[in-house]
Amino acid sequence: MTTQKLSKANNKLINANFGVIILLCFVIYGLAIFQDYLFSRFKSIGFYWSDTMLYNIYWLLFIPFIKFANNVNSKIQPKTVINKTLYALFFGIVFSVLHIFLFTSIFILGSNIIYSTPHKFSTILKNAISNQSQITIITYLFLPFVIDYLNRKRQDEKDVSIQKIIIVKNGTRRIKIDVSTVLFIQTDRPYTALYSINQKLLHDESLKKLEELLDSTVFIRVHRSVIINKNHLIEIKSRKNGDYDGILTNGHSVRFSRHYRQKWNTLLNH
């Protein structure tokens, strides 16, 4: 997989789970405030909402930092175990330092706005280092490994889910077909016709259903009623009106509709 493709895969992965990350950070934020409240009751000390809400913003900062960290990870992909480990150590330390200093700066800014006598930068920085630095370093230290693991797992699941065999159903008949031998699939009402290298078979499933089952990087919808296997495409000829004719390995011509060009446009350079 190229760096560009891996970058897109990582971004999709984080985007797909980002809602969970946001929810988790807000849950931790709420629990931290509740913990401070309980501690003040048990110790019979003062509890100040403004202080605890401002201080626990620390946990909400994981939201943008994880997003930003993912963008960095998607551009740097060390290959060996040693390089991955060194990168994770460097990554964990740098992002932890950035997180702590940004939090302290935000806290002091808020403190200057809210209080007549604001907190000292050095005091808040020391508190953050002593109380939150350990969990912050651990989070950013393991984040590259977690993203890499989830990405590989997602790719493995995708590879498993890709159809390699189609069971063609026609009445009482059930016929196995290797999808790599399928040249194109076409609506043939009330059926769907599968054209393989050496035969044509009618299938009970709809064209839309087959499109969902097959690998979208190989089987491309080029017309309202046609899906082709791009690996069997050998020539594309323009009709001068935005439509094209695609010639397949068996010599069959398939019309490429301009209305589906966003799906097959990359085939012009395939």
**pLDDT band, very low/low/confident/very high, at 155 (cuts 50, 70, 90):** low
Distance (Å, whole) CA 181 – CA 198: 9
**pLDDT band, very low/low/confident/very high, at 55 (cuts 50, 70, 90):** very high
Using H for helix, E for strand and C for coil, what is the string for 65-105? HHHHHHHHHHHCCCCCHHHHHHHHHHHHHHHHHHHHHHHHH
Q: Given a cut of 80, is residue 18 above it in pLDDT?
A: no
At residue 46, the pLDDT reads: 84
**pLDDT band, very low/low/confident/very high, at 3 (cuts 50, 70, 90):** very low
pTM (2 d.p.): 0.53
Q: Given a cut of 90, is residue 16 above it in pLDDT?
A: no
Q: Taking the CB of residue 113, how many other CB atoms lie within 10 A of it?
A: 9
pLDDT tens string 193-250: 999 888 888 888 889 988 888 888 899 999 999 999 999 999 999 999 989 999 999 8
Instruction: Tell the CATH topology of 165-269.
Output: OB fold (Dihydrolipoamide Acetyltransferase, E2P) (2.40.50)
Q: Structure tokens of 84?
A: 């991955």
DSSP assignment of 98-126: HHHHHHHHHHHHHHHHH-SSPPPHHHHHH
What is the domain partition of the chain in residue ranges? 3-161, 165-269
